[in-house]
Structure 1
Amino acid sequence: MKGQEPNIDYAVVRSRRSTVDIIIERDGSVLVRAPEWVNDQQVEKVVQSRQYWIYQSLAEWRDLNATRVLREYKNGEGFLYLGRAYRLRLANNQDAPLQFQQGRFMLRRDLVESGDVATAKAAFRDYYIARGLDRIGQRVAYFAPKVGVEPTDIDVRELGHRWASCSPTGKLAFHWKCMMAPQTIIDYIVVHHHRDHTDAFWNEVDKVMPEYRERKEWLRKNGAGLDI
């Protein structure tokens, strides 16, 4: 569902939450998360009352994304994994499209020389997905009982502008780009992205991760750089 105020386009998502929340997504879009019982007119009033904050946040988003790093697929380029940058080396004789050996990413040279950048990107994406299923799965298993949730399934895949999502059935999905962030930030994403953000939920989050606000701010400032 979509609504519009002067110069502000926003999407509305309703769920079994208790308050109206406005967030700026990774792609710069404005999302209003509202309780099921809140009608369109009430949503518009909330958006109107927070126009200054929305304009300010969108300006910050533009500034942060102006520093996005555009990486090239050539020897010596740095690619992120778990918060650290590792150099790329193009390999001549290698069966797998991408491997990680001796502190370097080894990318099959023919993927680059063919000019098919999409294939080279897919090699990194597949690598992060494979590693993410294991590592993120372990972190979900660790944190879920601490914050009182019971996920039904876990997936790592392309999620567009979302870092993670939770379906009504409790299935968690995480963006493969999460694997480019430091482990502390991955933990924040794991803890934060659940369907029902009640006061009780945040109380539990504060207990197991009292510095979650700092991690949230790190992700806001550095998220645009987590890309290939």
Structure 2
Amino acid sequence: MSETLSVPGLDGIPVQLRRSARARRMSLRVGRSDGRVTLTLPQGMSERQAGAFVRDQAAWVRRAVAAVPALRVVRVGGSVPLLGRDVPVVAGSGRAARHLGATIAVADDVQAGRRVQALLLSLARTHLAASVDRYAEAIGRRPAKLSLRDTRSRWGSCSSRGALMFSWRLVMAPPEVLDYVAAHEVAHLLHMDHSPRFWTAVERLVPDYAVHRAWLRTDGAALHAIDFTG
């Protein structure tokens, strides 16, 4: 059962306590997409010690929570980012959402957000597969598999067997950012590390990759704050 700590000076922000037998010291984390504050602490450490630790970090916690992007709910009458541009979501007919170029049309009911999500998932697969194919051909390697997930901690990964995984939310980012992540993971087919030779391989594929990497750091959290559940 999770514990919640209320700490003076946090303006009512709750802190979730997570006890870990593997933890050797306390660590404090603020979720970049949901603003959830979690304190991991070793087994046996008291709430008094935990509270004192958080109080010392109160100013940082308040700043980090304030910087979390506001939740954005996808519904008819609103909009959703697609390849870096906000696309209006309008009322339509049929069971599936449709991308009509300038708009996304979807039935105006409680499933609207989920249907738009399904459309974006399909578009993400199309765009990421095309990018991966292009970069894989450039390096002369083929991935074993390509899958999509809704990951929070990483935008993509490459397994030791050459299976690539991407966050489908990349389809909401500018296309150059999506391309960079595809190139990054394809480069891992050559080098399964982040050594200088790996980054040299990425730079050969995407010479201005640093710009797109920076975009993910500054703006990527906003993509996770988009809610399709209605």
Q: Distance in 1 between matches of 2:140 and 2:74?
A: 43
Any gaps of 5 or more consecutive residues in structure 2?
A: 1-19, 37-56
**Contact 1:166–1:173 under 8 Å retained in 2:** yes
Partner of 1:95: 94
What is the rounded CA distance, in whole Å, between the counterparts of 1:209 and 1:98 in structure 2?
33
- Which string of whole-angstrom CA distances, capped at 9 and with x for unpartnered residues, describes residues 2-43 of structure 1? 843533269xxxxxxxxxxxxx987789xxxxxxxxxxxxxx
Provide TM-score, normalisation by structure 2. Answer: 0.65
What residue in structure 2 maps to residue 35 of structure 1?
none
Per-residue CA deviations over 1:101-134 (Å, capped at 9, x if unaligned) read 251111211x23xxxxxx3332122112211222
Q: What is the aligned length? A: 178
Deviation at 1:84, TM superposition (A): 0.4
* Cα pair 1:158 1:176 within 8 Å, conserved: yes
Shift of 1:66: 2.0
Say which one has the larger Rg. 2
Deviations 1:78-109 (A, max 9, x none): 21100000111123xx2233112251111211
Q: Which of 206, 211, 215 is the equivalent residue of 2:203?
A: 206
- Sort the Cα spacing of 1:97 and 1:8 in 2 relative to 1 into closer, same or farther, 3 A: same
Q: Which structure dedicates a bigger proportion of its chain to helix? A: 1
Hey, what's the Cα distance between the residues in 2 that align with 1:128 and 1:88?
A: 12
Partner of 1:171: 163
CA distance in 1, matches of 2:205, 2:62: 29
1:2–1:105: structure 2 CA closer, same or farther, 3 Å change rule? farther
| Structure 1, 210-219 or 94-103: larger mean CA deviation | 94-103
| Off by >6 Å, runs of 4+ in structure 1 | 24-29, 58-61
Equivalent residue for 1:141? 133
Gaps of 5+ in 1: 11-23, 30-54, 113-118
CA distance in 1, matches of 2:28, 2:164: 28
2:145 to 138, 153, 162: 153
In 2, the alpha carbon distance for the partners of 1:27 and 1:2 equals: 26
CA RMSD, Structure 1 to Structure 2 (Å)? 3.2
Q: Give the direction of change, closer, same or farther, for the CA distance of 1:72–1:131 in structure 2 (3 Å limit).
A: closer
Q: Does the 8 A contact of 1:26 with 1:161 survive in 2? A: no
Q: TM-score of the superposition, structure 1-length normalised?
A: 0.65
